[in-house]
Amino acid sequence: MKILQKTSLTILLLVAATTAASAQAYSGERKFDGVHYNEINGSLFGGHNVVTGGFFGENAIYTRHLSPRWSVSAGQQIQFIKNVYAIDVMGTYRIPIRKKTNIYIDGRFMFARYQRWKVNEPVINLSAYLETNYFDLRWGWSYIRYHKMDVNELYKSFTTSSYGEPLVMTLQIGINIRPRANRWNLGLFFRNFDQYYYENWNINWGVRFHCNLPLDMKLFGELNIRPAGSLSQLATRYETSLKLGLKYVW
């Protein structure tokens, strides 16, 4: 019960810290608007899969625009019940094509810990992201490595093993029913990754939305459906989840 209370308090503090920021409504684009150098978003999510049953978690990301072209970001995620903990850092360079079309070159490092199975998963990703008024496309490559440490209870010793996958293609396709910067929007997406994992062949798909709220806030969310995965199936297999969050710039 104490663990559950501490977990709930952590989530409430995260949301409170996120919603306390004073900012303008985010336009729906990633580019620097010339005024607001900082972005932060916090979200809660939950769902069900056939491995762990129900689960829930929290996620937070901070982005700093260094110039009209360059930005850096850092994020963290905790998936309770699954016992998955992850952090990541990313650098981005924007190439403007025309007024409402941009290409972003992203370099990213992610580290995920599957505590239940004592497995670490570092990932290096390089990808290009095309963002237009109604359509977006991401394509790139990821290098994924797994490291597992086991304890031999009979001999009281440690054994370690590591495995690196061949380069994994990164793919995402998204479409919107309204212009990207509209005050509300609804869209579909297909991708082989999520905020903190990448897969070889399995495609996630779902529905995403965002809308502006009073007090210069933006609400966003997505319904995500995914089949079995590779290593991630240790914590996630045949899963449906819902994410809901708030985003700000200042």
**H or E stretch covering 10:** helix 2-19
With CA atoms as reference, report the closest residue to 105 among 70, 60, 65, 68: 70
Task: Supply 19's token pair.
Answer: 């919603």
Residues 91 and 72: beta-carbon distance below 8 Å: yes
**What pLDDT score does 15 carry?**
35
Q: For residue 114, how many other CB atoms are within 10 A of its CB?
A: 21
What is the C-alpha separation between 240 and 223, in angstroms, rounded?
Answer: 7
**Rounded distance, CA 66 to CA 49, Å?**
40
d(CA 202, CA 193): 9
SS3 (DSSP) at 8: helix
Asked if 165 contacts 201 with a C-beta cutoff of 8 angstroms, the reply is no
Q: In the chain, what are the domains?
A: 2-249 (2.40.160.40)
- Confirm if 77 and 59 have CB atoms less than 8 A apart: yes
Query: How far, in Å, CA of 145 to CA of 226, rounded?
Result: 22
Alpha-carbon distance 56 to 16, whole Å?
18
Angle at 57 (CA atoms; ends 56, 59), nearest 5 degrees:
150
Q: How far apart (Å, rounded) are the C-alpha atoms in residues 105 and 130? A: 9
Ordered per-residue pLDDT tens for the chain, 250 residues: 444 444 443 433 333 333 333 223 233 567 788 888 999 999 999 999 888 899 999 999 999 999 999 999 999 999 999 899 999 999 999 999 988 899 999 999 999 999 888 899 999 999 999 999 999 999 999 999 989 877 666 655 566 788 888 898 999 999 999 998 889 999 999 998 887 778 777 788 999 999 988 877 889 999 999 887 656 666 777 889 999 999 988 8
Q: With contact defined as beta carbons under 8 Å apart, do 136 and 109 qualify?
A: no
Q: What is the pLDDT of residue 131?
A: 94
Tell me which DSSP letter residue 195 carries: T
**pTM for the structure as a whole:** 0.81
